[in-house]
Amino acid sequence: MSIKIENLVYKYMTGTPFEKTAIDDVSLEIKDGEFIGLIGHTGSGKSTLIQQLNGLLKPTSGKIYIDGEDITVKGINLKKIRQKVGLVFQYPEYQLFEETVFKDVAFGPQNLGLSDDEILKRVKRALKIVGIDFEKYKDKSPFDLSGGQRRRIAIAGILAMEPKILILDEPTAGLDPKGRDEILEEIRKLHKEYNNTVILVSHSMEDVAKLVDRLIVMYKGKNILTGTPREVFKEIETLEKIGLAVPQVTYLIRELRKRGIDIREDIITVKEA
């Protein structure tokens, strides 16, 4: 499913002395099946942007089309939009509330009015994607599990809705390096298998650049760079200015340029030291 954003503006607390423009005239397109990294520092507007993509926040001005349908018009069916656009919030584990893992993951699909068979199938599939053993965990309380496991279960709850567009806001926040790599690997596999549109929100270039097809870089509410990781990394000066440069990559690009060689695709797979 595609997304098209036209001249989007979002202001918090409009008409008060505290008015704050969080999204400042952003226009962009995301194609069906693209894997996008939405990147920028804290406060650059990432969360504000994605919350408008499933109707949680209503734009101050501008348009958003999901698969050609304008979701900013009055009276739009938000339930239908949220079925298409699944949003995993930061620290989603805090939203778990059912007494068993099964019930928690099944909550969304149940609201879609699906048959018990279909719900069971979806819960199993979603737990498998996030690497949680169905038989072993289905009757356990999410609250008896580790933080990393709780996060996987919360992500599975959104996956079980089978959204055509999946948005994950900092899914690795607060996890140790192992937990972070595992979640990112699961997201990569999920996208490969289902080829749905995925937007991975992050403030870390290292996390996303080696996974995604395209990066959308936000700075002070504006989309200042868009392109493949390779294209974006070429803009070393801009990335350094906004504090998103990966030092090893920047160093390599500079050294290569001194020798008259352009950036190679494999440079972007440089991992953190």
Question: Is the separation of the CB atoms in 110 and 121 below 8 Å?
Answer: no
Least Cβ distance, residue 48 to ligand ADP (angstroms): 3
Closer CB to ligand ADP, 46 or 191, in the complex = 46
Question: What tokens does 245 get?
Answer: 């440069």
Closer CB to ligand ADP, 203 or 214, in the complex = 203
Question: Is the separation of the CB atoms in 108 and 160 below 8 Å?
Answer: yes
Least Cβ distance, residue 169 to ligand ADP (angstroms): 7
Question: Does 227 help bind ligand ADP (rule: CB under 6 A)?
Answer: no
Question: Is the separation of the CB atoms in 213 and 34 below 8 Å?
Answer: yes
Least Cβ distance, residue 107 to ligand ADP (angstroms): 26
How far apart are the C-alpha atoms of 37 and 140, rounded to whole Å?
Answer: 34
Question: What tokens does 212 get?
Answer: 């995604």
Site residue total, ligand ADP (CB under 6 A): 12
Least Cβ distance, residue 43 to ligand ADP (angstroms): 4
Going by their DSSP bridges, the two strands 3-12 and 20-30 should be labelled as antiparallel
Closest-CA residue to 184 (of 193, 196, 175): 175
Closer CB to ligand ADP, 90 or 269, in the complex = 90
What phi, psi does 54 have (nearest 5°)? -120, 20
What phi, psi does 262 have (nearest 5°)? -85, 165
Encoded amino acid at 266, one letter? D
Closer CB to ligand ADP, 198 or 252, in the complex = 198
CA separation (Å) from 214 to 97, 211, 225, 266? 35, 9, 10, 15
Least Cβ distance, residue 46 to ligand ADP (angstroms): 4
Least Cβ distance, residue 29 to ligand ADP (angstroms): 20
- x/- contact string, 28-57, with ligand ADP (CB under 6 A)? ------------x-xxxxxxx---------
Closer CB to ligand ADP, 200 or 253, in the complex = 200
Helix axes 177-194, 116-129, angle to 10 degrees: 130
Among residue numbers 3 through 32, which ones bind ligand ADP (CB under 6 A)? 12-13, 20, 22
Least Cβ distance, residue 23 to ligand ADP (angstroms): 8
Q: Which residues bind ligand ADP (CB under 6 A)?
A: 12-13, 20, 22, 40, 42-48
